[in-house]
Amino acid sequence: MDSHTITITPTTNEAIIKFESNHFLVKNESYEFKNIDDAKPSPLAQQLFYLPFVKTVYITQNFIAIERYDIIDWSDVQDEVKEQIENYLNSDAPLLNIESTQKKVPVTVYAEATPNPSVMKFVANKKLVVNSTEFKSIADTADNTLARQLYNFPFVKEIYADENYVSIQKHDIASWDEVTFEIRSFIKEAIENGAEIGSSKHEAGTVKKEGENIELPKFENLDDVSKKVVEILDEYIKPAVASDGGNIVFDSYDENTKEVKVILQGACSGCPSSTMTLKSGIETMLRDMLPGKVDRVMAING
């Protein structure tokens, strides 16, 4: 199994912080433990209650949230708690000693058009994936996953999943008017029966085109301008394209040519308006916010 990496995320309540994993911890359930006796179903929660400042432990989806007593500040202990949780999750010890039963979970799914006429966005009322995932073909999918099942529809070309939605790009053999209801119903039923989207054989953001994957640079290894570009994309661009069922990923920056290369995913890939978005939106913003550093933005796929 892939190892868990924990990220510390503050909440609106300063007494509570979330320790988010890059994998799901529990599906379709939420657990709240008020004390060490209450936490008997979870050895990890019981272990956490040995810390004198722990008031309440919540376990749901891909995170563990902890509420503290006011005897300490989170800044003093959060790194140690993160390490403790990460070590436990990466051991062979069970998170929960609860018999899980397969059960249907009420799910709603609605279809939403995107600026790309070939792509429809199917939005659920629950979290579907922890990490954004792209499937360029059936070869990228794993057995017994929703992504593999969707490729049984001959008109499905590419799939992109993020948070609570799935964007599907189709071939021209069918119109969305003909197939939207069928796909929406299929996704709804599959999720209700516990189907998972599944992991791609490529990490999200590393696929340029079918059969060609790349290794993206790690943020900490980037130069200062590249880091600024990534931060601008994350803060100003990604939320907008995500609402349209797509994603944009930083690939590289050339200091000599002052050119930024990006990878387009989901509804952004192959979208007729993507060139205009790059030029009039992203390129203009990067020029204005990084004067003299960026002259051009190019998509290396899509």
Q: What tens digit of pLDDT does each residue of 69-85 get? A: 999 999 999 999 999 99
Contact present, 30 and 105 (Cβ < 8 Å): no
- pTM attached to this predicted model: 0.66
Q: How far apart are CA 138 and CA 245, in angstroms?
A: 20
Q: What is the mean pLDDT of residues 85-94?
A: 91
CATH node for 6-90: 3.30.1370.70
Q: Where does the pLDDT of residue 184 fall: very low under 50, low under 70, confident under 90, or very high at 90 and above?
A: very high
Q: Which residue has the higher pLDDT, 26 or 47?
A: 47
Structure tokens at 271: 């979208």
Q: Which residue has the higher pLDDT, 99 or 248?
A: 248
Chosen CATH of 217-301 out of 3.40.605.10, 3.40.640.10, 3.40.50.1000, 3.30.300.130: 3.30.300.130
CATH homologous superfamily of 109-193 equals: Scaffold protein Nfu/NifU, N-terminal domain (3.30.1370.70)
* Domain 6-90 and domain 109-193 have a common topology: yes
Residue 102 has pLDDT above 80, yes or no: no
Q: What is the DSSP string of 83-139?
A: HHHHHHHTSSS-S-------------EEEEE-SSTTEEEEEESS---SS-EEESSGG
Q: What is the mean pLDDT of residues 123-152?
A: 89
Q: How far apart are CA 157 and CA 95, in angstroms?
A: 38
Task: Output the pLDDT for position 8.
Answer: 94
Q: How far apart are CA 248 and CA 274, in angstroms?
A: 11
For the chain, give every domain's residue range.
6-90, 109-193, 217-301
Q: What is the mean pLDDT of residues 44-54?
A: 93
Strand order in the sheet with 156-162: 109-113, 119-124, 165-170, 156-162, 133-135
Task: Output the pLDDT for position 201.
Answer: 53
Instruction: Supply the DSSP symbol for 237.
Output: I
